[in-house]
Structure 1
């Protein structure tokens, strides 16, 4: 006899999609060799797109959205996990092609899971979430490129959002001078508390600019895309690099080859969805060392299951600061 549990479900309709909290059957979960009792999730920008339907994030219906979770293993046919283990999942199509995190239970492939880092609680891991893990992958990529804080400041776009907030905190902790770009200048005290040295209005970057501008930044972490990323590239110093990990302004990139062939600037793409387990473990190990728990607490808001839908709309409206943890219950 199938067990039932609470879930947020998206169904396709003739006019778009319907989103509601339902009682979901265990037998209707998708294939996987590990069943997890989900304790915490988070609301990412991609979750906002999925729930509002403003972008075709969801690829099958019905769908339980939510791209990451922390939880406890209930049953496992994977030798790496046993009942009672605490685990984390980021990406792998969760909430897009595979039933996701906004439910009290999930069935997934063991290869997608990593052990919950011992230094973090489940709530802290989701306060970091895919956004923070992506920010750390970006920092590691810049370091692998050979960049160091002595070479100049780093710019973070979308600074008030989840990726941006954690990017500022970890860049500052590792010695970088950080310039934060945001559309919400009233958040300047918050961004400086996280570690930003200066805060600029995103309007300086969000409109069409020149192929090359004044060399201002040695490095950048961009979660915005479009004209913003183009202008950051144009203002990056010679032999600098920008890690691109988002598209809040748009998927387009209206730039030229000038920064690349005249200054040797590099554009590094960050794919957090299917990163290898080795890369994931490295990123979480670095987060354990280079993210101040006090700053993590300062940038985190906690909500209940019933608040997921309005929060998804708010994150697209740009009214959410930092990270949002969902207590699944």
Structure 2
């Protein structure tokens, strides 16, 4: 490996002095172990990053660590022959900012087993506009299609549609040939959601669900960021053999439903756990994101670009519900 390098990072501590995160200078020798040393160009801000950076969620399993569950950059050195100096690479999830240093540092050391060569068709910047959010949306589509979801079954409801995951899901599912109905509590953003590919926008505040265990089928399937009552309300509205892919719990971790949609219509509820996705599926998803599922409006979805120093303000705004689209983090020049 190369000689030790000093660099800046947004590092999170939890010790006798309390929980805190901020910019520090550290050395590459202090980074988590791994075969691939990367100079980071971009990261992104996900809800999980805001929880980790503020301590309002139990995300990190050890301390101190650099924040950021996403990273993209250029290989500086590698002990794995599959990665060479100058290769463009990315990594999402895979323990970043949980059990190992994440992407909020000018350098990161990655395990080669979770490092992805940047697919042809994506730039480093585009890969981090996508990041965990885009990967999660595309993984949801992959799992739904593996379970026989087809455009002919009807429109896909996307909940939490004005968030980063939801906006990318609209673009990805519509690019893949699906009609998309966006559900959001931010009616002022409906024009934007239509521009991304939603054929119909539904105001969450005006949406009412029946108390019946089964109701008239309205959606071919759903990509759900919300959980809770939203998930319970959607289940009776899915057509026979449609799928709901759930990846979030903004509306709560519990939901009250019945088995009727499952045993009468054959509806499937699919869990989307992006952080630990198997390598073969991970590669497959990124190839889709660089080609036939690549969102057409990435620059519009990236509504903000910030530096490491600006992260605390971004975290606070995101946790307060004052965020829209994706926030890109410019980490370094490569």
The two structures have a TM-score, normalised by structure 1, of 0.94
How far did 1:152 drift?
A: 0.9
How far did 1:112 drift?
A: 0.8
How far did 1:96 drift?
A: 0.9
How far did 1:316 drift?
A: 2.2
How far did 1:205 drift?
A: 5.8
Q: Mean alpha-carbon deviation: is it higher for 267-276 or for 254-263?
A: 254-263
How far did 1:209 drift?
A: 5.0
Which residue matches 2:321? 318
Which residue matches 1:20? 22
Secondary structure at 1:239's aligned position in 2? strand
Secondary structure at 1:66's aligned position in 2? coil
User: Partners of 1:15 and 1:110 in 2: how far apart?
Assistant: 34
- What's the CA shift string for 1:185-213, capped at 9, x where partnerless? 11000100000011112235698954333
Which residue matches 1:251? 253
Which residue matches 2:45? 43
- Seen in structure 2, the aligned counterparts of structure 1 residues 290 and 310 have a Cα distance that, compared at 3 Å, is farther
User: Partners of 2:45 and 2:28 in 1: how far apart?
Assistant: 23
Which residue matches 1:104? 106
User: Partners of 2:55 and 2:91 in 1: how far apart?
Assistant: 23
Secondary structure at 2:256's aligned position in 1? coil
Structure 2 unaligned spans of 5+: none
Q: How many residues align?
A: 329
Matched, 1:156 2:163: no
How far did 1:48 drift?
A: 1.3
- Seen in structure 2, the aligned counterparts of structure 1 residues 110 and 126 have a Cα distance that, compared at 3 Å, is same
User: Partners of 2:30 and 2:252 in 1: how far apart?
Assistant: 35
Return the match for 2:305 from 294, 302, 305. Answer: 302
Q: RMSD of the alignment, in Å?
A: 1.9
- What's the CA shift string for 1:135-156, capped at 9, x where partnerless? 1111111111112111111100
Secondary structure at 2:190's aligned position in 1? helix
Secondary structure at 1:126's aligned position in 2? helix
Which residue matches 2:97? 95
Secondary structure at 2:290's aligned position in 1? helix
Conservation of the 8 A alpha-carbon contact between 2:171 and 2:296 = no
Alignment of 1:1-329 (within 5 A): 2-13=4-15, 17-203=19-205, 210-291=212-293, 294-300=296-302, 301-329=304-332
User: Partners of 2:209 and 2:23 in 1: how far apart?
Assistant: 40
Secondary structure at 1:11's aligned position in 2? strand
Conservation of the 8 A alpha-carbon contact between 1:5 and 1:104 = yes
- Seen in structure 2, the aligned counterparts of structure 1 residues 277 and 209 have a Cα distance that, compared at 3 Å, is same
How far did 1:262 drift?
A: 2.3
Conservation of the 8 A alpha-carbon contact between 1:225 and 1:244 = yes
User: Partners of 1:203 and 1:16 in 2: how far apart?
Assistant: 39
The two structures have a TM-score, normalised by structure 2, of 0.93
Conservation of the 8 A alpha-carbon contact between 1:205 and 1:227 = no
User: Partners of 2:33 and 2:326 in 1: how far apart?
Assistant: 30
Q: Mean alpha-carbon deviation: is it higher for 248-257 or for 159-168?
A: 248-257
Structure 1 unaligned spans of 5+: none
